[in-house]
Amino acid sequence: MSEVYPVPAETAKNALIDNDKYNAWYERSVKDPDGFWGEHGKRIDWIKPYTKVKNVSYSGDVSIKWFEDGTLNVSANCLDRHLAKRRDQTAIIWEGDDPNESAHITYGDLHERVCRLANAMTDLGVKKGDRVTIYLPMIPEAAVAMLACARVGAVHSIVFGGFSPDALAGRIQDCDSSLLITADEGLRGGRKVPLKVNADKALETCWSCKSVIVVKRTGGDVHMVTGRDHWYHDIVAKASPTHTPVEMSAEDPLFLLYTSGSTGKPKGVVHTTGGYLVYASMTHQYVFDYHEGEVYWCTADVGWVTGHSYIVYGPLANGAITLMFEGIPNYPTVSRFWDVVDKHKVNIFYTAPTAIRSLMREGEEPVKKTSRKSLRLLGSVGEPINPEAWTWYHRVVGDNRCPIVDTWWQTETGGILITPLPGATALKPGSATRPFFGVKPVMVDAEGKTLEGATEGNLCLAEPGWPGQMRTLWGDHDRFIQSYFATYKGMYFTGDGARRDEDGYYWITGRVDDVINVSGHRMGTAEVESALVAHPKVAEAAVVGYPHDIKGQGIYAYVTLIQGEEPSEDLRKELVNWVRKEIGPIASPDLIQWSPGLPKTRSGKIMRRILRKIAENDFGSLGDTSTLADPTVVDDLIDSRMNRG
Ligand code: WT7
**CB-ligand 1 contact for 506 (6 Å cutoff):** no
**CB-ligand 1 contact for 384 (6 Å cutoff):** yes
Residue 618: per-residue pLDDT = 84
Predicted confidence (pLDDT) per residue in 461-506, tens digit: 999 999 999 999 999 999 999 999 999 999 999 999 999 999 999 9
Nearest CA to ligand 1 atom 17: 408
Average pLDDT value for residue range 265-280: 97
Give exposure, 14-49, as e/b (b: 16+ Cβ within 10 Å): ebebeeeebeebbebbbeebeebbbebbeebebeee
Predicted confidence (pLDDT) per residue in 104-117, tens digit: 999 999 999 999 99
Nearest by Cα to 40 from 16, 57, 11, 12: 16
**Coil/strand/helix, residue 382:** coil
Distance CA 295, CA 289 (A): 12
Which range among 165-169, 469-473, 629-633 shows the weakest confidence by mean pLDDT?
A: 629-633
Q: Which residues pair with 72 in a beta bridge?
A: 248
**CB-ligand 1 contact for 139 (6 Å cutoff):** no
**CB-ligand 1 contact for 470 (6 Å cutoff):** no
Atom of ligand 1 nearest to the CA of 411: 22
Each domain of the chain, given as residue ranges in start order, spans 519-640
CA of 517 to the centre of ligand 1 (A): 8
**CB-ligand 1 contact for 283 (6 Å cutoff):** no
Average pLDDT value for residue range 128-134: 98
Nearest CA to ligand 1 atom 11: 384
Q: Which residues pair with 271 in a beta bridge?
A: 255
pLDDT tier at 319, thresholds 50, 70, 90: very high
Distance CA 277, CA 414 (A): 9
Any idea how long the chain is? Answer: 645
Predicted confidence (pLDDT) per residue in 51-67, tens digit: 999 999 999 999 999 99
Nearest CA to ligand 1 atom 2: 410
CA of 183 to the centre of ligand 1 (A): 29
- What one-letter code names the amino acid at 482? Q
- Report the sign of the C-alpha dihedral through residues 624, 629, 633, 637, in that order: negative
Count Cβ atoms within 10 A of the Cβ of residue 281 and give its class: 0-12 exposed, 13-18 middle, 19 or more buried. Answer: buried
Q: Is 330 annotated as a binding residue?
A: yes
**Coil/strand/helix, residue 529:** helix
Count Cβ atoms within 10 A of the Cβ of residue 82 and give its class: 0-12 exposed, 13-18 middle, 19 or more buried. Answer: buried
Residue 643: per-residue pLDDT = 65
Atom of ligand 1 nearest to the CA of 416: 3
Q: Which of 270, 350, 408 to mutate to test the pocket of ligand 1 (most atoms within 8 A of CB)?
A: 408
**CB-ligand 1 contact for 306 (6 Å cutoff):** yes
Distance CA 417, CA 159 (A): 24
CA of 511 to the centre of ligand 1 (A): 9
CA of 522 to the centre of ligand 1 (A): 8
CA of 408 to the centre of ligand 1 (A): 6
Instruction: Provide the angle, in degrees to the nearest 10, between the axes of the packed helices 140-152 and 107-123.
Output: 60
Q: Is 205 annotated as a binding residue?
A: no
Atom of ligand 1 nearest to the CA of 515: 25
Percentage of the chain beyond pLDDT 70 is: 99
**Does residue 432 surpass a pLDDT of 80?**
yes
**CB-ligand 1 contact for 296 (6 Å cutoff):** no
**Does residue 623 surpass a pLDDT of 90?**
no
Are 341 and 374 in contact, with CB atoms under 8 Å apart?
yes
Are 274 and 175 in contact, with CB atoms under 8 Å apart?
no
- Spell out the residues 6+ positions from residue 220 whose beta carbon is closer than 8 angstroms to its own: 184, 185, 192
Alpha carbon distances (Å) from 506 to 348, 455, 487, 553: 23, 10, 21, 21
Atom of ligand 1 nearest to the CA of 510: 25
Residue 620: per-residue pLDDT = 78
**Does residue 1 surpass a pLDDT of 60?**
no
Atom of ligand 1 nearest to the CA of 521: 21
Predicted confidence (pLDDT) per residue in 278-315, tens digit: 999 999 999 999 999 999 999 999 999 999 999 999 99
CA of 82 to the centre of ligand 1 (A): 32
**CB-ligand 1 contact for 382 (6 Å cutoff):** yes
- What one-letter code names the amino acid at 625? T
Residue 95: per-residue pLDDT = 98
**CA angle (45 as vertex; 43, 48 as ends), nearest 5:** 125
Are 110 and 91 in contact, with CB atoms under 8 Å apart?
yes
Atom of ligand 1 nearest to the CA of 508: 11
Q: Which of 522, 551, 586 to mutate to test the pocket of ligand 1 (most atoms within 8 A of CB)?
A: 522
CA of 512 to the centre of ligand 1 (A): 12
Following DSSP, what letter does each residue of 460-523 receive, concatenated?
A: EEESS--TTS--EETT-HHHHHHHHTTTTTTSEEEEEEEEE-TTS-EEEEEESSSEEEETTEEE
Helix (H) or strand (E) holding 628: none
Q: Which of 163, 269, 299, 383 to mutate to test the pocket of ligand 1 (most atoms within 8 A of CB)?
A: 383
CA of 361 to the centre of ligand 1 (A): 23
Distance CA 137, CA 185 (A): 8
Q: What is the mean pLDDT of the chain?
A: 96
Residue 645: per-residue pLDDT = 39
Following DSSP, what letter does each residue of 157-224 receive, concatenated?
A: EE--TTS-HHHHHHHHHHHT-SEEEEES-EEETTEEE-HHHHHHHHHTT-TT--EEEEE-SS------
Helix (H) or strand (E) holding 459: strand 455-462
**CB-ligand 1 contact for 184 (6 Å cutoff):** no
CA of 383 to the centre of ligand 1 (A): 5
Question: What are the backbone dihedrals phi and psi of residue 528, each rounded to the nearest 5 degrees, phi first?
Answer: -70, -40
CATH of domain 519-640: 3.30.300.30
Nearest CA to ligand 1 atom 19: 383
Distance CA 473, CA 268 (A): 5
Q: Is 497 annotated as a binding residue?
A: no
Distance CA 389, CA 378 (A): 13
Nearest CA to ligand 1 atom 1: 410
**CB-ligand 1 contact for 407 (6 Å cutoff):** yes
**CB-ligand 1 contact for 404 (6 Å cutoff):** no
Q: Is 406 annotated as a binding residue?
A: yes
CA of 410 to the centre of ligand 1 (A): 5
Is residue 467 reached through a cis peptide bond, with omega within 30 degrees of 0 on the bond before it? no
**Does residue 329 surpass a pLDDT of 90?**
yes
Distance CA 248, CA 274 (A): 9
pLDDT tier at 640, thresholds 50, 70, 90: confident
**CB-ligand 1 contact for 556 (6 Å cutoff):** no
Average pLDDT value for residue range 5-16: 96
Q: Is 308 annotated as a binding residue?
A: no
Instruction: Provide the angle, in degrees to the nearest 10, between the axes of the packed helices 33-40 and 274-287.
Output: 80
Distance CA 438, CA 273 (A): 18
Q: Is 496 annotated as a binding residue?
A: yes
**CB-ligand 1 contact for 411 (6 Å cutoff):** yes
